[in-house]
């Protein structure tokens, strides 16, 4: 499973990636999770199962969906982002990926 997080600069999402990786590892789930700035998304998105957008760039969701129509795009909930709730964000990404593959 490949999850790509995009935010304004890629810095704050880096901490969330670490929390998501810790959760995935604790569950024995192999996941490739990375963070980047929205401007770098094109170079990083290949092979992604989902694109997660930081709340600060959530207004770009429709543009990102148009750019990558084959990849689900989800805006991370502000509360989960602020609390760096890697488990909840990872589980939500899993749900969306599972729903798409049905």
What is the reported pTM? 0.94
Distance CA 42, CA 94 (A): 22
pLDDT at 10: 64
Q: What is the mean pLDDT of residues 58-79?
A: 96
37, with CB counted inside 10 A (0-12, 13-18, 19+), is middle
pLDDT in tens, 14-62: 899 999 999 999 999 999 999 999 999 999 999 999 999 999 999 999 9
- State yes or no: pLDDT of 90 exceeds 70: yes
Q: Do residues 49 and 27 lie in contact, with contact meaning Cβ atoms separated by under 8 Å?
A: no
36 in active site: no
Query: What's the rounded mean pLDDT across residues 80-91?
Result: 96
Which residue range(s) make up the domain with 57?
2-101
Residue 73, domain CATH? 3.40.50.2300
Could you say which of 7, 20, 35, 50 is catalytic? 7
Give the number of domains in the chain: 1
């Amino acid at each position: 499973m490949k999850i790509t997080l995009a935010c304004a600069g890629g810095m704050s999402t880096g901490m969330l990636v670490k929390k998501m990786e810790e959760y995935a590892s604790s569950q024995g789930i192999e996941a490739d999770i990375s963070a980047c700035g929205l401007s770098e998304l094109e170079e990083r998105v290949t092979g992604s199962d989902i694109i997660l957008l930081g709340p600060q760039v959530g207004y770009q969701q429709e543009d990102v969906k148009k750019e990558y129509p084959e990849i689900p795009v989800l805006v991370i909930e502000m509360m989960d982002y602020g609390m760096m709730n890697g488990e909840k964000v990872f589980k939500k990404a899993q749900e969306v990926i599972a729903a798409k593959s049905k």
